[in-house]
Amino acid sequence: MTQDEPQPLIIDTDPGVDDVLAIVLALSRPDLVRLEAITLNFGNTTLDYARDNVLRLFNVLHAHVQQEGKGQEGLKRSLSGSAYRTIFASKGAEGPIGGEQFTASYFHGRDGLSGISQLHGDPFATSKSIPSPLVEDATKPAHEIILDILRNNAPGTVRIAAVAPLTNLALAFQSDPETFCRVGGISVMGGVLDGPGNTTATSEFNTYADPFAAKVLLHDAPLHPVLQDAKRNACGYTGSLPIELLPLDITRKHTVPYARLCDDVDQRGGILRSFYKAMLSQPRRVTNSHAPPGSPFDPRLYDNFEAHDPLAVAHAMFTPSLFSRRNGSQQTEGGWKTEQVRFGIETVGELTRGYCVVDRRGLGSIKLGKIKPNSSAAKDKGNGDVEVEKPTSGQWDVVVASPGPAWFAGIFCEALSI
Per-residue model confidence (pLDDT) at position 313: 98
Whether 156 has a pLDDT exceeding 80, the answer reads yes
Whether 25 has a pLDDT exceeding 70, the answer reads yes
- Mean residue pLDDT across the chain: 90
pLDDT digits (tens, 9 = 90+) for 84-105: 679 999 999 999 999 999 999 9
pLDDT digits (tens, 9 = 90+) for 283-303: 999 999 999 999 999 999 999
* Residue 329 banded pLDDT, cuts 50, 70, 90: low
Per-residue model confidence (pLDDT) at position 318: 96
* Residue 360 banded pLDDT, cuts 50, 70, 90: confident
What's the CA gap between 152 and 137, in Å, rounded?
16
Whether 375 has a pLDDT exceeding 60, the answer reads no
Per-residue model confidence (pLDDT) at position 68: 80
* Residue 127 banded pLDDT, cuts 50, 70, 90: confident
pLDDT digits (tens, 9 = 90+) for 255-272: 999 999 998 877 777 999
Closest CA to 355 of 213, 191, 199, 188: 191
Q: What percent of the chain has pLDDT over 90?
A: 78
Per-residue model confidence (pLDDT) at position 303: 97
Strand arrangement of the beta sheet that strand 87-91 belongs to: 134-136, 87-91, 33-40, 7-13, 159-162, 185-189, 243-246, 395-401, 337-345, 356-358
Compute the average pLDDT of residues 200-211.
97
Per-residue model confidence (pLDDT) at position 268: 77
Per-residue model confidence (pLDDT) at position 23: 98
Whether 387 has a pLDDT exceeding 70, the answer reads no
SS (H, E, C) the chain: CCCCCCEEEEEEECCCHHHHHHHHHHHCCCCCEEEEEEEECCCCCCHHHHHHHHHHHHHHHHHHHHHHCCCCHHHHHHHHCCCCCCEEEEECCCCCCCCCCCCCHHHHCCCCCCCHHHCCCCCCCCCCCCCCCEEECCCCCHHHHHHHHHHCCCCCCCEEEECCCCHHHHHHHHHCHHHHCCCCEEEEECCCCCCCCCCCCCCCHHHHHCHHHHHHHHHHHHHCHHHCCHHHCCCCCCCCCCEEEECHHHHCCCEEEHHHHCCCCCCCCCHHHHHHHHHCHHHHHHHHCCCCCCCCCCHHHHCEEECHHHHHHHHHHHCCCHHHHHCCCCCCCCCCEEEEEEEEECCCCCCCCCCEEECCCCCCCCCCCEECCCCHHHHHCCCCCEECCCCCCCEEEEEEECCCHHHHHHHHHHHHCC
Closest CA to 234 of 170, 166, 172, 150: 150
Residue 335: CB atoms within 10 A of its CB come to 11
Per-residue model confidence (pLDDT) at position 72: 79
> What are the structural domains, with CATH classification, of the chain?
7-346+394-416 (3.90.245.10)
* Residue 396 banded pLDDT, cuts 50, 70, 90: confident
Compute the average pLDDT of residues 351-377.
70
Is the CB of residue 79 less than 8 Å from the CB of residue 30? no
Compute the average pLDDT of residues 304-315.
98
Per-residue model confidence (pLDDT) at position 391: 52
Per-residue model confidence (pLDDT) at position 386: 55
Whether 222 has a pLDDT exceeding 60, the answer reads yes
Per-residue model confidence (pLDDT) at position 371: 53
Per-residue model confidence (pLDDT) at position 93: 98
Whether 168 has a pLDDT exceeding 80, the answer reads yes
Query: pTM for the complete prediction?
Result: 0.92
Whether 382 has a pLDDT exceeding 80, the answer reads no
Per-residue model confidence (pLDDT) at position 393: 56
pLDDT digits (tens, 9 = 90+) for 32-54: 999 999 999 999 999 999 999 99
Per-residue model confidence (pLDDT) at position 333: 64
